[in-house]
Amino acid sequence: MDKNQGKTGGVKGYFPKSHVHVMGFSTLLCFSFGYLWYVFSGTSSKVSDTTSSNTQDFHNIKQSSNHILEDLLQIELPRMIYTKPQILKPPRCDVLMMTPWFAPIVWEGTYNSEILNEQFRQRNDTVGLTVFAIKKYVVFLKTFLETAETYFMVGHRVNYYIFTDRPEEVPKVALKEGRNIVVLQVQNYPRWQEISMRRMEMLSYFSQQRFINEVSYLVCMDVDMKFNDQVGVEILSDLFGTLHPAFYAAERRSFTYERRPASQAYVPSDEGDFYYMGSIFGGTVMEVYKLTKKCHEAIMVDKANGIEAIWQEESHLNKYFLYHKPTKILSPEYMWDDNLGRPEILKKRRFLAVPKNHAAIRNK
């Protein structure tokens, strides 16, 4: 057998690689000519028995058919060359890549960004990135936006939704084509914990009132962070959460869930899959709406009962993910703190905590 046989870039068979696209195109033309023969022969038999007006109709059909053939000759099918996946050779054996409910866990080396980008471009979607810059947290916006322009959803359309009580302090940042900053003015609250919890309320409201009409996906992030490497469409799914960098390898008994049964965020000690970080989560607008609405309602019930979950909205987020499993999970690459060192499994540090003095920022 010729050395080229069987190597068709993903098409199984015995055709030489150089002939695959020619044969596919030839098949398309054969079908086209067959259809045209049917049209012409059927029309011709009628022309002999009809008036000259039908002759003109035949001429028009022929001209139209010629245009169809010209269009067919100009078709360029997308073509990608990449290494064939190996069923018996998983890309990584040092980490869990799939949950028991078949949700992929995203690690470096487990996906092909070129394939994902091409698939996403065909859908022509826009991604919304939400961030809260309340009070002095507005100082983190410049670094956040500048690094996002370098690393976040590169080559795709993005709306940055900035929630702030200081719209006049939102920095001017040069944006690439198809990317926009939308400033949403909101009120602040005396305590940073209250600001943190109210985030669910505002995300729920704007998802229903605005985001659903403007973007397909929402990525909800903390502002006191910076992008350090590519964060692209590999993260997108109906509903995704992110493994907490301090607990990704811990047993469930070590998770800092809300353990008081009186709280709506309560998780029993014998339950729990992972501990998720509140700094980055998202999904389709509708799924984010359902998540944030449910969490806000639970927070309000706790508030009425004089209870505040141990980690505010993050505790309610973890409760939600326990009973509404995310369809994709991001590894600690997507939320890392360099104070935790550099474990061997961490091939990338994509989204990093910015060093800060919390006492100087919170409640200011």
3-state helix, strand, coil in the chain (%, to 5): 40, 15, 40
Is residue 45 predicted with pLDDT exceeding 80? Answer: no
> Is 57 among the annotated ligand-binding positions?
no
> Is 83 among the annotated ligand-binding positions?
no
Query: Rounded mean pLDDT of the chain?
Result: 85
Q: Which helix (H) or strand (E) holds 241?
A: strand 239-242
Judge whether 330 and 119 are in contact, CB under 8 Å: no
> Is 133 among the annotated ligand-binding positions?
yes
Q: pLDDT (tens digit, 9 = 90+) per residue, 5-35?
A: 433 333 333 334 444 444 444 444 444 445 4
> Is 120 among the annotated ligand-binding positions?
no
Q: What are phi and psi of 243, to 5 degrees?
A: -65, 135
Measured CA to CA in angstroms, residue 341 lies from 243, 256, 333, 346, 347 at distances of 16, 21, 12, 10, 13
Structure tokens at 164: 């702030």
> Is 223 among the annotated ligand-binding positions?
yes
> Is 186 among the annotated ligand-binding positions?
no
Is residue 246 predicted with pLDDT exceeding 60? Answer: yes
CA 85 to chain centre: 23
Spell out where 52-152 has E strands.
105-106, 126-133
Judge whether 107 and 113 are in contact, CB under 8 Å: no
Q: pLDDT (tens digit, 9 = 90+) per residue, 343-362?
A: 999 999 999 999 876 655 55
Band (258; pLDDT cuts 50, 70, 90): very high
The neighbour count for residue 336, using CB atoms within 10 Å, is 23
DSSP-assigned states of every residue in 306-362: T---TTHHHHHHHHHHHHS--SEEE-GGGSB-GGG---TT-----EEEPP--HHHHT
> Is 147 among the annotated ligand-binding positions?
no
Band (189; pLDDT cuts 50, 70, 90): confident
Of residues 126, 247, 136, the one with CA closest to residue 188: 136
What pLDDT score does 117 carry? 96
Quick one: 342 exposed, middle or buried, by C-beta within 10 A (0-12, 13-18, 19+)?
Answer: exposed
> Is 134 among the annotated ligand-binding positions?
yes
pTM above 0.85, yes or no: no
**What residues does 160 pair with on adjacent strands?**
129, 181
> Is 314 tagged catalytic?
yes
Among the listed residues 149, 308, 314, 333, the single catalytic one is 314
Give the Cα separation of 170 and 309 in Å (integer): 31
Collapse the DSSP code of 214 into the 3-class scheme (helix H, G, I; strand E, B; otherwise coil) and give the result. Answer: coil
Collapse the DSSP code of 55 into the 3-class scheme (helix H, G, I; strand E, B; otherwise coil) and give the result. Answer: helix
